[in-house]
């Protein structure tokens, strides 16, 4: 920790997530930020929003990153691997990558090896893990499995008309599918693996081939985790219709659903009974609070219930799902090695 409690963060990228999320959080914490961006005008404009932020003309490779508490990577997704490797080579010991961390399992594998070689920590930002419904579902999952029997199917349903990026809606074919998978599904996929506790996952193509139009998508994979029987994971999304925005776990003798919302709840159906628990306590998500929790976690002082700074290795399972859906028919694919 810096003298007097002052901490500095190096931020690569000056896009919307920096202006609306990270900079307000840094201001709340009283930390300072140095912003790097290819567009200096944008970097300066964003930096002026907060008194303790400044823009730098220097390249990341020219900066002693070891002098900063962390390096936040909020550049466009295709550049994440290059920026992470540059940050590590510049001396960074803690790197936080905005979601989704990496495009492919191979990119993730390379980044983890680079972090290990530099004796650095690599984090990803998945603040939805702090939502009460997700926390409740994760805590209840072992009991569900004992009461309801083996898990046989998981359904991810996400439909929020007018809230998704218009650029993805204009795309077609494989490019459109990749955009949907990489930009819209990181949080739901992370939620599935987080709630279920899946590790050491092997992912292969499922019975439903990926299908994508500008307004809808669907697909399936089979996930075998920790040596267990494969579980069918189905994905369903719509840009025109409001879907449940939830993750549903179908067991042999019952069903449990967790709503993906800070104000959502959990429903368990067993036999003829139905249990409903409204776990949400907020009327909406406070982005400053969410990003403040993530940054505290990176610094090692996150409190109970704070949005966690997730070790990037935990994205191994979700990125394997994306790989298989994008590259079908790729056959069986192991999740990237997660040991550091």
Q: Provide the CATH number for the domain around residue 253.
A: 3.30.360.10
Confidence tier at 298 by pLDDT (50, 70, 90): confident
Q: In this structure, are residues 157 and 236 in contact, taking their beta carbons and an 8 Å threshold?
A: yes
Q: Which residues contact 125 (CB under 8 A, 6 or more apart)?
A: 96, 97, 98, 99, 291, 294, 307, 309, 310
CA distance 4 to 2: 6
Average pLDDT value for residue range 49-61: 91
pLDDT at 173 over 60: no
Strand order from edge to edge, sheet including 32-36: 53-55, 32-36, 8-12, 70-73, 94-97, 121-125, 309-311
Are 144 and 87 in the same domain? no
What is the spatial distance between Cα 66 and Cα 61, in angstroms, rounded to a whole number? 12
Number of domains making up the chain: 2
Which runs of consecutive H residues, i.e. helices, occur in the chain? 16-17, 23-29, 40-47, 80-89, 105-117, 132-148, 166-170, 173-179, 186-196, 287-299, 316-327
Q: Report the chain's mean pLDDT, rounded to a whole number.
A: 84
Same domain, 133 and 94: no
Is there a single domain that holds both residue 36 and residue 176?
Answer: no
Mean pLDDT of 316-338: 73
- The larger pLDDT score, comparing residue 29 to residue 237, is at 29
Q: How much is the pLDDT for 340?
A: 42
- Alpha-carbon gap, residue 102 to 81, rounded angstroms: 7
Q: Is residue 124 part of a domain?
A: no
Answer yes or no: is pLDDT of 165 > 50: no
Least confident of 91-100, 253-262, 313-322, 328-337: 328-337
Would you state the pLDDT for residue 166? Answer: 40
> Which CATH number belongs to the domain containing residue 18 in this structure?
3.40.50.720
Task: Let me know whether 88 and 177 are in one domain.
Answer: no
Q: How far does the chain reach from its first CA to its final CA, in angstroms? A: 24
Final residue of a domain: which of 48, 78, 98?
Answer: 98
Q: What percent of the chain has pLDDT over 90?
A: 47
Kindly state whether residue 300 falls inside one of the protein's structural domains: no
By residue count, the chain amounts to 340
Q: Are residues 142 and 240 in the same domain?
A: yes
Same-domain check for residues 278 and 188: yes
Read off the pLDDT of residues 79-125 as tens digits, 9 standing for 90 and up: 999 999 999 999 999 999 998 889 889 999 999 999 999 999 999 88
pLDDT tens digits, 267-296: 999 987 888 777 655 555 577 777 888 888
Whether residue 93 is found in the same domain as residue 149: no
Whether 56 and 183 map to the same domain: the answer is no
Scanning the structure block, which residue is given the tokens 């008309």?
161
Domain assignment present for residue 59? The answer is yes
How far apart, in whole angstroms, are the C-alpha atoms of residue 11 and residue 73? 6
Give the pairing of strands 273-278 and 265-270: antiparallel
User: What's the pLDDT score for residue 334?
Assistant: 65
Q: Give the Cβ contact number of residue 271 at 10 Å.
A: 8
| Residue 42 pLDDT | 93
Residue 175 lies in a domain: yes
At residue 36, does pLDDT exceed 50? yes
Average pLDDT over residues 327-336: 59
Q: Is 93 part of any domain?
A: yes
Residue 209 pLDDT: 80
Residue 87, in any domain of the structure: yes
pLDDT band at 176 (very low <50, low <70, confident <90, very high): low
> Do 203 and 138 fall into the same domain?
yes
Query: What pLDDT digit, counting tens, does each position of 205-262 carry?
Result: 999 887 766 667 788 999 999 888 999 999 987 766 666 789 999 999 999 999 988 8
Report which of residues 189 and 166 the model is more confident about: 189
For residue 193, give its domain range: 129-282+312-328
Do 67 and 153 belong together in one domain?
no
Task: Indicate if 63 and 187 belong to the same structural domain.
Answer: no
Do 145 and 84 lie in one domain? The reply is no
Collapsing DSSP states into helix, strand and coil, what is residue 305? coil
List all residues 6 or more positions away from 286 whose beta carbon is below 8 Å from its beta carbon: none
Among the ranges 147-151, 199-203, 241-245, which has the highest mean pLDDT value? 147-151
Looking at 139-148, 252-261, 320-329, which range is the least confident one? 320-329
Is the preceding omega at residue 100 within 30 degrees of 0, hence cis? yes
Summarize the confidence of residues 286-309 as an average pLDDT: 73
The answer to whether position 105 is within a domain reads no
- Span of 7-11, 35-39, 180-184 with lowest mean pLDDT: 180-184
Whether residue 120 is contained in a domain is answered as no
pLDDT-derived band of residue 183, with 50, 70 and 90 as boundaries? confident
Is the pLDDT at 13 greater than 50, yes or no? yes
């Amino acid at each position: 920790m810096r003298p007097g409690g002052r901490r500095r963060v190096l931020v690569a990228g000056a896009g919307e997530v920096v202006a609306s999320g990270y900079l307000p959080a840094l201001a709340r914490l009283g930390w300072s930020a140095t912003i790097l961006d290819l567009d200096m005008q944008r970097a300066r404009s964003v930096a002026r929003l907060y008194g303790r932020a400044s823009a730098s003309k220097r390249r990341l490779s020219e900066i002693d990153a070891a002098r900063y508490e962390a390096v936040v990577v909020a550049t466009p997704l295709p550049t994440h691997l290059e920026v992470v490797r540059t940050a590590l080579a510049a001396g960074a010991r803690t790197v936080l990558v905005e979601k989704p961390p990496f495009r492919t399992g191979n990119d993730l594998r390379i980044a983890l090896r680079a972090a290990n070689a530099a004796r650095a920590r690599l984090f990803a930002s998945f603040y939805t893990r702090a939502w009460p419904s997700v926390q409740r579902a994760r805590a209840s999952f072992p009991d569900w499995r004992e009461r309801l029997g083996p898990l046989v199917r998981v359904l991810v349903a996400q439909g929020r008309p007018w809230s998704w990026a218009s650029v993805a809606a204009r795309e077609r074919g494989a490019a459109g599918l990749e955009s949907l998978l990489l930009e819209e599904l990181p949080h739901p996929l992370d939620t599935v693996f987080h709630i279920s506790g899946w590790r050491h996952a092997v992912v292969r193509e499922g019975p439903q081939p990926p299908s994508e139009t500008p307004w809808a998508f669907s697909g399936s994979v089979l996930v075998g985790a920790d040596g267990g029987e494969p579980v069918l994971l189905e994905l369903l999304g719509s840009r025109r219709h409001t879907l449940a925005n939830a993750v549903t776990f179908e067991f042999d003798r019952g069903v449990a659903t967790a709503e993906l919302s800070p104000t959502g709840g959990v429903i368990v159906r067993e036999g003829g009974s139905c249990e409903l628990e409204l776990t949400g306590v907020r009327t909406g998500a406070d982005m400053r609070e969410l990003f403040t929790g993530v940054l505290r976690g990176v610094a090692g002082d996150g409190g109970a219930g704070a949005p966690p700074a997730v070790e990037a290795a935990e994205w191994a399972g979700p990125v394997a799902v994306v790989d298989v859906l994008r590259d079908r028919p790729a056959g069986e694919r192991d999740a990237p090695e997660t040991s550091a």
